[in-house]
Amino acid sequence: MKNGAKHTTIIDIAKILRISPSTVSRALNNHPDIKIKTKEKVRNIAKKLQYSPNTIAQSLKNNRTKTIGVMIPEIKHDFFSSAISGIEEIAYHSGYTIIVCQSNESYEREVLNTIALMRHRVAGVIVSISQNTKSGEHFKDLLRRKIPLVFFDRVCDDIEASKVVIDDYKSAFDAVTFLINKGYKKIAHFAGPQGVGVYEKRLKGYVDAIKENKIPFVNGLLLHAGLNTSDGYESMDSLFKSKLIPDAIFTVNDPVALGACKRIKEAGLKIPNDIAAIGFSNNVITSVVDPSLTTVDQFPFEMGRKAAELLIQTIENKLMKPKTIIIDTKLIVREST
């Protein structure tokens, strides 16, 4: 079961040149104690034998790795894959590699993945937590072991770690206010799973925007469901059945908005003339659907970059205490409003 891999080591090089491994090591690391002649010889042999240092051995010796653990719910979501892309970008340029794992929205798997990352002695971890994560004990384990931790988007509020988030409350508030200013008065909200901070805040933003603008709050216009297209479809369907027809909807995310739009179109109504719609996240998809969807851009690539920057700064002791970065969102106005 061994990897058959046979790599050349500094000992191989040492033997050939009849010098000691330590000299080879110092030569390769350009240590001043080694004379240039020797360094050149070492480097030549190293190149000839395709020597590449064994990170494993280095890590063991130095008690430190250049690996960052990334755990997100699901890679296939636009938002998260863009974030990973941003993380990888920064990591790459700082000489770090990233280990990616997905929790699949499962708390148990999140815990197991955390353990796996600890075993790997990652230098730090970047996380967006699963929907079903209530306890943050596994993250506290990381901190107890002095492994730096950065949350992004879906954060764990009661853990002292750096965070990269958007202002979900304000983004939602602004989106709804935008609708109100456009003259819409019966605005529905399809909320996400409560218990997850970001969705709670979006809901609160909706409620407060309604209240502050002195629009009557109608309980029936506030629906709770999941995060998928089907949820949006069904929520809209139930509104139609209840004869409580809004003139605009604001949904927890883009897929839900799209599902709702589908149902609206099936009802023979026009968007935005009969019902306007705003989603959340600016999935690529929103710009090409017909009508294109007004939505809130969270700049996930940028969030990933910032999270990686924060983490690396913490790892390298350039950032001594947790910091929260709030990424500005942008309402992307399109045809659906």
SS3 252: coil
Residue type, 52: S
Least separation in angstroms between residue 45's CB and DNA is: 12
According to the binding rule CB under 7 A, does residue 20 interact with DNA? yes
- Binding to its own copies (CB under 8 A) within 304-333 occurs at 315-317
Pick what 100 binds: DNA, its own copies, none; C-beta below 5 to 8 Å, kind-dependent: its own copies
According to the binding rule CB under 8 A, does residue 5 interact with its own copies? yes
Give the CA distances from residue 103 to residues 81, 114, 176, in Å, rounded to whole numbers and listed in that order: 14, 10, 32
Which among 154, 159, 153, 128 has a CA at the least distance from the CA of 141?
A: 159
According to the binding rule CB under 7 A, does residue 206 interact with DNA? no
Per-residue binding string, its own copies, 77-106, x by CB under 8 A, is -x--xx-xx--x---x----xxxxxx----
Considering only the stretches 4-12, 81-89, 199-207, 268-276, report the one whose residues sit in contact with DNA under the rule CB under 7 A: 4-12
For residue 140, what are its two tokens?
């506290």
Among 14, 45, 123, 129, binds its own copies (CB under 8 A): 123
Least separation in angstroms between residue 238's CB and its own copies is: 21
Per-residue binding string, its own copies, 17-56, x by CB under 8 A, is ---------------------------------x-xxxxx
Contact 114, 89 (CB under 8 A): no
According to the binding rule CB under 8 A, does residue 64 interact with its own copies? yes
Q: Could you write out the three-class secondary structure of 121-171? A: CCCEEEECCCCCCCCCHHHHHHHHCCCCEEEECCCCCCCCCEEEEECHHHH
Contact 111, 125 (CB under 8 A): no
- Binding to DNA (CB under 7 A) within 21-50 occurs at 21-23, 25-26, 28-29, 32-38
Distant-in-sequence contacts of 132-137, Cβ < 8 A, 24+ apart:
132/105, 132/106, 132/107, 133/103, 133/107, 134/107, 134/195, 135/107
- Binding to DNA (CB under 7 A) within 55-74 occurs at 56-58, 60-63
Footprint of its own copies (CB under 8 A): 1-7, 50, 52-57, 59-60, 62-65, 67, 74-76, 78, 81-82, 84-85, 88, 92, 97-102, 115-116, 118-121, 123, 141, 144-147, 258, 262, 284-285, 288-290, 301, 315-317
